[in-house]
Structure 1
Amino acid sequence: MKRFIVLSGIILIVLVAIYRERLFLRDPLAKVYRNGVRQEGLRVYINYSNDILVQDSGGAPLYMVQHWNESPGFPQELKCLRGMVCWTDHDHATLVPLAKGDPAPSTTMSDREVTFRQGDSSTIRVTLR
């Protein structure tokens, strides 16, 4: 039994290391602001690269922003486990743009904050802890 637990732990660590770009863990201290007003009932998830995924309290994805393209969008394929962890289809998740026909929004990303403008001209700011 002890060997099984140790082997399972090693396998889990290897899988997390390999899929670290696809795996998003919930950040309970992150906050979302829309036009400077804090938004309640949203869940923020981050991955190894501090890419973000924001969901509403019902589990529907609102948007995802990744460092590789800094363009917010809806994840095309996303699987989540009880509000704790989500994973995407690829390291660079397939995204549907927030608003079709709009130019790419100006996005600012750092290790502590992600800011971008939505198609309706509202500014979204996500602070990470």
Structure 2
Amino acid sequence: MGIFLRWLGAFVLLAATYNPTEWNFIRWAEANWSNQMPLTLLLGLLLGVGYLVYVGATLRSIGAFGIVLVAAIVGALVWVLIDYGVLTLQNPQLNLWLGLFALSVVLGIGLSWSIIRQRLSGQATVDEVEQ
């Protein structure tokens, strides 16, 4: 359940920042920057902290190669679904949601990788401490 919640958190973070609906930070900030600058800045900083946590943990746990590998696996899955006629790329809004889903999978796996690795191998992962 924890891995699902980490993925869901990544999806909510990405979708809150931008999505094809009217309900996202980017569109709200563009419309309200002059009237509500302090609130816009605060919410932008909170989103930035969320990205710092997710991207930092992902880079530390799976690295750039792991990010490319997970993205390639998700891309191949989408390709298979398109090839079998389950998905179509004719709808630009659906394409954006697929992109958000793919990025959230990468960030969710990156944040959860130490847990996944521990469950698969039985070995705990600890951070390196500089002395």
Is the TM value for this pair above 0.5? no
Please state which structure has a larger fraction of its residues in helix.
2
TM-score (normalised: structure 1)? 0.30
Please state which structure has a larger fraction of its residues in strand.
1
From the CA coordinates, give the structure whose radius of gyration is larger: 2
Between the two structures, name the one with larger relative contact order (CA 8 Å, sep ≥ 6): 2
